[in-house]
Structure 1
Amino acid sequence: MFSRRKFIKTTALSASLLAIDKKSVAGLLPPALNAAVKPIVISTWDFGIAANQAAWKTLISGGKALDAVEQGVRVPEADPKNQSVGYGGLPDRDGHVTLDACIMDEAGNCGSVAGLEHIMHPISVARMVMEKTPHVMLVGDGALQFALENGFKKEKLLTKESEKAWKEWLKTAKYAPVMNIENKLYDKSAPQKLPGNQYNHDTIGMLAIDSHGNISGACTTSGMAYKLHGRVGDSPIIGAGLYVDNEVGGATSTGVGEEVIRNVGSFLVVELMRQGYSPEDACKEAVMRIIRKKPETAKNIQVGFLALNKKGEYGAYAIQKGFSYAVCTEQKTDLLIPGKSYY
């Protein structure tokens, strides 16, 4: 029988629970209900600032993280001054601008395109692959056919500047990687052209949490400049260039994609966060695995990882100095943060 004394005790207990500071119980709530989780978007490199601004417009209005990351990375995809992503990207050794991209949502749905030509926004084609087909990845002519059949416009992506750099490179056809040249290329205060005998390798990877606590990510690139025709890096490969697990967080990568693929880098970072690693420590461990496996190779390449966990905590780590990432929250707008590095 439920006595008056039991009723008084129950009422007192309920009142004491209600009096507890919300901050002290925030960690006990399901992640989607945790009041500490705010909309946030992070992305690689300094050109991520403009991309974040576009993504933030979606997030601040209560939109989905998936929509935010797509809209965000479309900004560098359409920028002719950015020679490592999308329109204006440096071509392969045969003069073809081939684009790679992937996208992943909070439910684990994902889509990807690789070796796509003539389409300015591969990220939107990747999303359409995710939403309109039973497949994850379409490549080359098949990806182009799918894009055209779904209303995308065929365009010339090789700009005069990139064509000129490619023709200069053809004089020697020599590879000479330059670390973190992406930042130098995109420095609007002091724009620099890419010398013809150098190549770059990069992408924009973006991760976002929306107001519902859901995570999505996107990754898009024109790939390694002057690559062999048909070469595909890590950027469009789920688990390598991008991975999202809504229970844990998400990760993306930048740099020489071959080494990221060999280590399934972004998946590794997320799994390390599942084990309790902070985003930065998880990125560091993924970098250290590359260094331990190929110490001599690692001295001459750049690979970096960027991660975001379910709590909204973020971090990055790279092999070489110079890697940076952009952050946008209600408290931190257009903030560029240098990532830590091994060398």
Structure 2
Amino acid sequence: MAPSFANKEAILIIVCNNEGKSGIPVTAEMLSRGASALDALEAGVRVVEDDPEVRTVGTGGWPNLLGDVELDASVMCGSTLRTGAIGALKGYTHPVSIARQLLERLPHEFLVGDGAARFAHEIGAETGELLRPHAKTAWQRWFDSEIKPEHQAAWPDAPLIEYCHNAVDPEIGKDTTVFLCMDQHRHIASATSTSGWGWKYPGRLGDSPVIGAGSYADSRYGACACTGAGEMTIRTGTARAVVLYMKMGMSVERAVDEAVNDMRALKGGLISRVTIHAIDNRGNHRTVAVNGLPDNHYWLWLPSMKAPEARPAEIIQISDEEPQNKPFAMAVYTKEP
């Protein structure tokens, strides 16, 4: 039966980004069986974290400048406004579940680095080798070709600033995974997971674990989550802004427009791509790719659908300038041996 958006009946909806393809069927199946929003999102994101075809999330994600894979994740319950966020985590395969346990078991909202790893160990979270052969080979090729001999000799204690400025994500157009949904009780939730910007400065956090920047959920109004250049959404508080604009009475369409307008004020720093995914509390949604690419898309599921469907993202250009950080020729490093 198709969902009713005009009354108080149960509304089910899932929106996730392009990288969520493998996980959204799991989330949809669970929601259709009456699972809670948080349970369904966590399960779907875990599938993406294990997906060998996704190289920007979980196991197999791209490493930082030192060759280490650092993972970030978050969850938010829109009915309690409780959150769990994990940043710069090494050696654990399902950061979204660690973030969920943080929400459930700690009075805190955010753990990073050694503290996040300590908590993950304490709860018995799954461990594993995150750096897979394809990423290790790509990193080694980059190191051999781009790092000055004197810095190679001093590695890993060499200066990294210049290399950070000359390196961007090896797969342009690939992203964090973000999931938004509303369950049968009209509870709204969000979840994110990422390995972050490939070849990033060690310890860098993007927007994915930053509640209010990369994701935000409030069951009274709606939810929003972002992919792309997290530096932009951190500076504009994009996810919280979209929900706040809806709280002010704007439609989800107008709320996203206002958040895009906020980005037009950004000067300097990294100005690149951001995709904004948003749902409201009536089952409406909108996905906009700021400075997006023609193939940017997202996934949508409603109970009226036989299976989740890929939809093209609406593309809005806010800058004609080149991104501040230009990609180097990664094809030479990422091609199969």
CA shift in 2, pair 1:311/1:90, >3 Å: same
One-letter identity of the residue aligned with 1:116: L
- The structural deviation recorded for 1:288 is 2.2
Q: Report if the CA contact (8 A) 2:224-2:276 is conserved.
A: yes
- The structural deviation recorded for 1:71 is 0.5
- The structural deviation recorded for 1:179 is 8.3
Q: Report if the CA contact (8 A) 2:170-2:198 is conserved.
A: no
Counterpart residue number, 1:317: 288
- The structural deviation recorded for 1:80 is 2.3
Q: 1:168 aligns with which of 141, 150, 155?
A: 141
Counterpart residue number, 1:336: 310
One-letter identity of the residue aligned with 1:219: T
> What is the TM-score of this pair, normalised by structure 2?
0.82
Counterpart residue number, 1:99: 71
Aligned equivalents of 1:237, 1:161: Cα separation in 2 = 29
Instruction: Say yes or no: does 1:53 pair with 2:45.
Output: no
Instruction: Say yes or no: does 1:68 pair with 2:40.
Output: yes
- The structural deviation recorded for 1:287 is 1.9
One-letter identity of the residue aligned with 2:191: A
Q: Report if the CA contact (8 A) 1:97-1:222 is conserved.
A: yes
Aligned equivalents of 1:250, 1:213: Cα separation in 2 = 12
Q: Report if the CA contact (8 A) 1:287-1:304 is conserved.
A: no
- The structural deviation recorded for 1:315 is 0.3
Counterpart residue number, 1:307: 278
Spell out the pairing of 1:144-223 with structure 2 (5 A cutoff): 144-170=117-143, 171-172=145-146, 173=163, 174-176=166-168, 180-182=172-174, 202-223=175-196
Q: Secondary structure at the match of 1:293?
A: coil
Counterpart residue number, 1:237: 210
Aligned equivalents of 1:257, 1:281: Cα separation in 2 = 22
Root-mean-square deviation (CA), in Å? 1.9
Counterpart residue number, 1:280: 253
Q: Which runs of 4+ in 1 moved over 6 A?
A: none
Q: Report if the CA contact (8 A) 2:168-2:199 is conserved.
A: no
- The structural deviation recorded for 1:302 is 0.2
Q: 1:78 aligns with which of 50, 54, 73?
A: 50
Greater share of helix residues, 1 or 2? 1
CA shift in 2, pair 1:338/1:295, >3 Å: farther
- The structural deviation recorded for 1:284 is 2.5
- The structural deviation recorded for 1:90 is 0.2
- The structural deviation recorded for 1:231 is 0.5
Q: Report if the CA contact (8 A) 2:226-2:239 is conserved.
A: yes
Percent identity among equivalent residues? 34
Q: Report if the CA contact (8 A) 1:206-1:217 is conserved.
A: yes
- The structural deviation recorded for 1:178 is 7.5
Q: Secondary structure at the match of 2:199?
A: coil
> What is the TM-score of this pair, normalised by structure 1?
0.80
Spell out the pairing of 1:103-142 with structure 2 (5 A cutoff): 103-105=75-77, 106-142=79-115
Q: Report if the CA contact (8 A) 1:80-1:89 is conserved.
A: no
Aligned equivalents of 1:111, 1:302: Cα separation in 2 = 26
Q: Could you tell me which runs of 5 or more consecutive residues in structure 1 were left unpaired when the two chains were aligned.
A: 1-22, 183-201
One-letter identity of the residue aligned with 1:66: L
Q: Secondary structure at the match of 1:85?
A: coil
Residues 222-252 of structure 1: CA distance to partner in whole angstroms, max 9, x if unpaired? 0000001011111001111110111000000
Q: Secondary structure at the match of 2:265?
A: helix
CA shift in 2, pair 1:117/1:204, >3 Å: same
One-letter identity of the residue aligned with 1:267: R
Residues 159-184 of structure 1: CA distance to partner in whole angstroms, max 9, x if unpaired? 000111111222225325678521xx
CA shift in 2, pair 1:297/1:150, >3 Å: closer
Aligned equivalents of 1:297, 1:223: Cα separation in 2 = 15
One-letter identity of the residue aligned with 1:54: V
Counterpart residue number, 1:8: none
CA shift in 2, pair 1:147/1:178, >3 Å: closer
Aligned equivalents of 2:247, 2:234: Cα separation in 1 = 20
Q: Report if the CA contact (8 A) 2:57-2:176 is conserved.
A: yes
- Structure number with greater Rg is 1
